[in-house]
Amino acid sequence: MNNLTSSQTNLTQLDDSEEPSPDAAIPEPGEEASGERRLDRRGILQFGGVAALAGAAAALMGSSPAGAATTPGIMHYGANNDAGQETTGLTSSNGKFSLHVKNSGFGHGIVGSGFGVLGTGVGGAGVVGGTKGDGPGVRAYVQPGAGGSALQAVTLEPNCSSPTVMVLQGGTGQGLFSRIENANNASRAVYARTVGTGHALLASVVNERSRAAAVRASTQGAGSGLEALSSKGVGATFAGKTAQVQLVPSADAAHPASGTAGQLFVDSSNCLWFCRGGTNWRQLA
């Protein structure tokens, strides 16, 4: 960096209030290269690449000044540098960070294309994203016309017992919020699947003072609020201290005019009715 001017040198100075606080230890020289050999290009393509901000990258790269002839070993500022088939590395022993990029405008600090960003953590996180404002710490999206996932997390180690994705909420918002905005989308907002022997989905409330249900399901359509199916066992199992099942009485004084065989109904007088199909209802209690 011998060609840095005094103003360019000032860009490398960092105010303490703006210092990032990465949680990863600084890898020794050669460790990144070793990690890249373990996760080669074919392996990355197999499990999906990182979604790149291609539109923003194109806008930023297109507005960059024309690149000057690149001299080996010299980085030219204000120009597009072309290293050809060579790689560019940066090694340091700094206890905080090796490279700091700050954009005082409205643009991105760093724009990556291709795989975008590949981070390998050695004793810490591979990639850390944070926010000091109202925006997200990390944003991932799929551009129109693309077919990949906005975000993908994969655990490759079969003996790893850590969650593939862990969400920790220390505030008052939702722990995890998934929604579908396409009214014609018939897919699930949340889909849990396992080929193992454990539960596909487990909901647990560990606060003994809570009176909220562990799972609440509701719909504004004509479908069931909750549906459970089993190919080889009972459809649902209920256990409780005060009651196994509670049917909330209806505001109607009588059972519906017709129903489906197997339905149970409690009217406003707390009478229990069983439907044998159609208009055939029988009072049980």
- pLDDT tens readout for residues 133-173: 898 888 888 999 999 999 889 999 999 999 999 999 999 99
Structural domain includes residue 75: yes
First-last CA distance in the chain: 88
CA distance 175 to 211: 18
pLDDT at position 70: 53
Highest mean pLDDT among 1-15, 104-118, 238-252: 238-252
Highest mean pLDDT among 8-17, 50-59, 68-77, 267-276: 267-276
pLDDT at position 172: 94
Q: How many domains does the chain have?
A: 1
pLDDT at position 276: 97
Residue 7's pLDDT band (cuts 50, 70, 90): very low
pLDDT at position 269: 97
42 pLDDT higher than 80: no
Amino acid, single-letter form, for residue 158: P
What are the tens digits of pLDDT across the range 178-237? 999 999 999 999 999 999 999 999 999 999 999 999 999 999 999 999 999 999 999 999
Residue 56's pLDDT band (cuts 50, 70, 90): very low
Q: Which residue bears the tokens 């905080």?
A: 96
pLDDT at position 59: 41
Q: Of 102, 105, 99, nearest to 63 (Cα)?
A: 105
Residue 77's pLDDT band (cuts 50, 70, 90): confident
Structural domain includes residue 50: yes
Structural domain includes residue 239: no
Residue 281 per-residue DSSP state? E
pLDDT at position 30: 42
Residue ranges of alpha helices (H) inside the chain are 6-10, 31-38, 41-47, 54-62
Q: Of 163, 219, 159, 156, nearest to 189 (Cα)?
A: 219
Structural domain includes residue 172: no
Structural domain includes residue 128: no
What are the tens digits of pLDDT across the range 84-140? 888 888 888 988 888 888 888 888 888 887 777 888 888 888 888 888 889 888 888
CA distance 96 to 24: 9
- Is residue 259 within 8 Å of 274, Cβ to Cβ? no
Structural domain includes residue 54: yes
- Is residue 272 within 8 Å of 266, Cβ to Cβ? yes
pLDDT at position 128: 87
Structural domain includes residue 23: yes
Residue 69's pLDDT band (cuts 50, 70, 90): low
Q: Of 24, 48, 218, 38, nearest to 125 (Cα)?
A: 24
Domain that holds residue 18: 1-83+99-117
Count other C-beta atoms under 10 Å from residue 214's C-beta: 10
Q: For the whole model, what pTM was predicted? A: 0.62
CA distance 189 to 219: 13
Length of the chain: 285
CA distance 118 to 36: 9
Query: Which H/E stretch holds residue 266?
Result: strand 264-266
Structural domain includes residue 22: yes
Cβ contacts of 283 within 8 Å, gap of 6 or more: 271, 272, 273, 274
Token pair, residue 171, equals 């505030």
